[in-house]
Amino acid sequence: MLVKDMEFVKDTLPFWRDLDEGQKGFMKEKLIERCYRQGRNIHDGEDCTGLLLVKSGQLRIFILSESGKEITLFRLFEHDVCILSSSCVMRNITFDIQVQAEKNSEILIMPAAVFKHLSGANPAVKTFEAEIVSARLSDVMWVVEQVVFMSMDRRLANFLLEQSSIEGSDELFITHDTIARNLGTAREVISRMLKYFESEGLVALTRGKVVLLDRKRLLECADG
């Protein structure tokens, strides 16, 4: 580990200051640094990756059905932490998730056995675990609420506005298939809904690109 990496860890993990010198040394020795190119799978739900700390880039956390349908649960950005990827060390998390790099990403990995050891040895780590799990489950419940209670036009409007905020632009270079995978539906459904949005003057469509034209009406649609 480089010194600059440990500064990142100190800034990202609030329990660092509560570790004793032995625990700090143990964690520094065990942390792993990895770089992943856009589109690469980081965690496939079959093994126990551990705690992920995002140094740079963007990760997508999603679930995959037996039929191959995907739905995005949440995203991780710089300084975000993903604890659900280490579900095998947490008794209350029983479902498998997938983690994929949406952009070229640098991450630090705390192996599951290391995190489990620190969590058992230090109450501050256990508290951090509970707080992160609570926050991420809130994100997941928001997705469940959308799927159960929101119409597809509202979900699509929310997604487009969220993507625009992430990219900092009203021009989204994204395919209908990618949108469908994020929302857990068929590409044909998304294409049909985008065509409707286009006919209403909300967006403009070209191959592999969606341009937001009327944010005010998209917000109204998203709010129902």
Residue 44 confidence (pLDDT) above 80: no
The predicted model scores a pTM of 0.82
Q: What's 3-148's CATH class?
A: mainly beta
Structure tokens at 214: 């009327």
pLDDT digits (tens, 9 = 90+) for 50-76: 789 999 999 999 988 877 788 999 999
Specify whether domain 150-223 bears CATH 3.40.50.280. Answer: no
pLDDT of residue 218: 96
Q: For residue 5, name the pLDDT band (cuts at 50, 70, 90).
A: confident
Q: For residue 127, name the pLDDT band (cuts at 50, 70, 90).
A: very high
More confident residue, 42 or 77: 77
Q: For the chain, which residues make up each domain, given as ranges?
A: 3-148, 150-223
Say whether 150-223 and 3-148 share the same fold.
Answer: no
